[in-house]
């Protein structure tokens, strides 16, 4: 008899309930601090993150132009810190600045936050330097403050119901988010037609909400892992109760490239959205996403559809790091592939399997 998997288990009780600025969430952080995905940088960030940071400084009005913003970064007047160290998760190369509005998710007392994504490429999360990205985000911020916040404060939206509907439609809730996004829009009762159309054209709008839900779920799970993600140079984890990250060099995700972009050099694995896969969706839900599994068949591990069975803690529905070490099998993480040089932006999509050795690393005493 086939085993029925409840992919929603980790997300029971999680709700999207507010929209708040980073300044309100983290008043201790000055505007000169930008937050990024993954572990701390040990040197200069990669070009896509630099592009995103420049965009954030221009968005905040902290620099008059790109050259001035770059100078602020180069001389250390503006610094980058890991978003997850401040209760925030951010996708790909996107940096989080002071006045950006964040989507707040709560589960059993745990609050987690993620920035909004403005739409398909070019976009800030892909490391674009196009001014149109800032304007789209500004418009999205205005819509979130005036239209979305009142609706969800009045009627918070259950995350597990979005996931249940998406899984039933064949989406794994990371690389494919269209069904979850549609389910979200259905539950935004009272949303005017123009705002609904804008959200429908942005199938990834729901992704940061899922990321924030996964972050809250991970904290509630009792897992020894408190944070996981890549910064384009290193991929790392931070264990519960510790301040330091353990990391390994981040190799690029393996997957199909978009037409005409095969020659571009890929950036190493980047993004806090790995937390979605660690919480049982994405790469651990490929069996529920047959179209995606078929599209990526040539690049996926041979056991991609059954690997979950060896890694998931049945009590929480979340990947167990001890099972990773015992089985010598790494979780599959579905990630976008970015151009290393920060010029072409999104160049493909695929999967990344962090080394098993990462999950056996411990912080130095």
What is the per-residue pLDDT across 136-169, written as a single tens digit (0 to 9) for each?
999 999 999 999 999 999 999 999 999 999 999 9
- Extract the tokens encoding 111: 């609050």
The verdict on 134 and 260 lying in the same domain is: no
Q: Give the CATH number, domain containing residue 47.
A: 3.90.1710.10
Same domain, yes or no: 74 and 104: yes
pLDDT at 363 over 90: no
d(CA 234, CA 256) in angstroms, rounded, equals: 22
Q: Is residue 4 part of a domain?
A: no
Residue that is written with structure tokens 């015992």 in the block: 326
Question: Could you read off the pLDDT of 222-249 as tens digits, one per residue?
Answer: 999 999 999 999 999 999 999 999 999 9
Q: Where does a domain end: 210, 244, 269?
A: 210
Cα distance between residue 280 and residue 152, in whole Å: 26
CATH number at residue 279: 3.90.1700.10
Domain with 292 in it: 223-360
Average pLDDT over residues 105-131: 97
pLDDT band at 365 (very low <50, low <70, confident <90, very high): very low
> How large a percentage of the chain has pLDDT more than 90?
98
* pLDDT tens readout for residues 29-79: 999 999 999 999 999 999 999 999 999 999 999 999 999 999 999 999 999
- Three-state SS string over the chain comes to CCCCCCCCHHHCCCEEEEEEEHHHHCCCCCCCEEEECCCCCCCCCCHHHHHHHHHHHHHHCCCCCHHHHHHHHHCCCCEEEEHHHHCECCCCCCCECCCCEEEEEEECCEEEEEECCCCCCCCHHHCCCCHHHHHHHHHHHHHHHHHHHHHHHHCCEEHHHHHHHHHHCCCCCCCCCHHHHHHHHHHCCCCCHHHHHHHHCCCCCCHHHHHHHHHHHHHHHCCCEEEEEEECCEEEEEECCCCCCEEEECCCCECCECCCCCCCCECCCEECCHHHHHCCCHHHHHHHCHHHHHHCCCCCCCCCCCCHHHHEECCCCEECHHHHHHHCCCCCEEEEEEECCCCCCEEEEEEECCCHHHHHCCCCC
* Any domain includes 130: yes
Together in a domain, 237 and 179: no
| Contact (Cβ atoms closer than 8 angstroms) between residue 267 and residue 338 | yes
Structure tokens at 263: 């020659």
Same domain membership, residue 171 and residue 24: yes
Show which of 159, 175, 210 is a domain's final residue.
210
Are 39 and 229 spatial neighbours (Cβ–Cβ below 8 Å)?
A: yes
Tokens standing for residue 215: 């972050």
Instruction: Compute CA distances 6 → 121, 171, 259, whole Å.
Output: 33, 14, 36
Number of compact structural domains in the chain: 2
Q: Are 102 and 233 part of one and the same domain?
A: no
pLDDT at residue 364 is higher than 60: no
pLDDT at 126 over 50: yes
In a domain, residue 3? The reply is no
Is 63 among the domain residues?
Answer: yes
Residue 264 falls in which region: left (phi positive, over 0), alpha (psi -120 to 50) or beta: beta
Same-domain status, 80 and 166: yes
232 contacts 50 by C-beta, under 8 angstroms: no
pLDDT tens per residue across span 262-317: 999 999 999 999 999 999 999 999 999 999 999 999 999 999 999 999 999 999 99
Q: Taking a C-beta distance cutoff of 8 angstroms, is the pair 335, 269 a contact?
A: yes
In sign, the C-alpha dihedral spanning 191, 145, 66, 40 is negative
Structure confidence at residue 52 (pLDDT): 98
Q: Is residue 164 located within the same domain as residue 255?
A: no
Alpha-carbon distances, residue 59 vs 48, 63, 138, 187, 345 (angstroms): 16, 9, 8, 31, 19
Q: How far apart are CA 3 and CA 168, in angstroms?
A: 15
What was the pLDDT predicted at 361? 84
Indicate whether 126 and 36 sit together in one domain: yes
Domain assignment present for 96: yes
Q: What is the pLDDT of residue 214?
A: 98
In a domain, 365, yes or no: no
User: Are 240 and 176 in a shared domain?
Assistant: no
Confidence of residue 362 (pLDDT cuts 50, 70, 90): confident
pLDDT band per the 50, 70, 90 thresholds, residue 132: very high
Model confidence pLDDT, tens digit, residues 324-342: 999 999 999 999 999 999 9
Assess whether the previous peptide bond of 155 is cis (omega < 30° from 0).
no
Instruction: Read off the tokens for 222.
Output: 């009792």
């Amino acid at each position: 008899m086939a085993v029925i998997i409840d992919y929603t288990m980790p997300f029971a009780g999680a709700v999207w309930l507010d929209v708040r600025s980073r300044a309100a969430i983290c008043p201790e952080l000055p505007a000169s601090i930008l937050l990024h995905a993954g572990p701390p940088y040990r040197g200069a960030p990669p070009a896509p993150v630099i592009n995103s940071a420049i965009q954030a400084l221009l968005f905040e009005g902290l620099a008059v132009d790109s050259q001035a913003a770059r100078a602020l970064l180069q001389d250390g007047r503006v610094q980058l810190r890991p978003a997850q160290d401040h209760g925030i998760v951010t996708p790909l190369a996107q940096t989080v600045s002071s006045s950006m509005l964040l989507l707040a998710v709560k589960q059993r007392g745990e609050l987690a936050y993620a920035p909004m994504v403005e739409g398909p490429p070019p976009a800030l999360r892909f490391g674009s330097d196009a001014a149109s990205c800032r304007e789209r985000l500004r418009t999205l911020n205005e819509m979130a403050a005036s239209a979305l916040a009142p609706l969800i404060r009045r009627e918070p939206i259950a995350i597990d119901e979005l996931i249940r509907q998406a899984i039933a439609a064949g989406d794994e809730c990371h690389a494919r988010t269209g069904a979850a996004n549609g389910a979200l829009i259905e539950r935004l009762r009272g949303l005017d037609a123009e705002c609904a159309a804008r959200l429908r054209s942005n199938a990834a709008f729901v992704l940061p909400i899922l990321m924030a839900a996964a972050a809250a779920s991970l904290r509630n799970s009792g897992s020894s892992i408190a944070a996981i993600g890549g910064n384009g140079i290193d991929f790392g984890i931070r264990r519960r109760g510790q301040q330091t990250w353990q990391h390994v060099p981040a190799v690029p995700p393996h997957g199909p490239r978009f037409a005409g972009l095969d020659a571009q050099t890929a950036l190493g694995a980047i993004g806090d959205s790995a937390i979605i896969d660690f919480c049982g969706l994405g790469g651990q839900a490929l069996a529920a996403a047959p179209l995606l599994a078929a599209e990526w068949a040539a690049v996926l591990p041979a056991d991609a559809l059954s690997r979950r069975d060896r890694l998931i803690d049945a009590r929480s529905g979340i990947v167990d790091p001890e099972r990773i070490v015992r089985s010598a099998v790494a979780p599959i993480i579905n990630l976008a592939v970015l151009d290393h040089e920060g010029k072409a932006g999104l160049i493909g999509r695929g999967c990344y399997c962090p080394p098993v050795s990462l999950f056996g690393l411990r912080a130095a005493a």
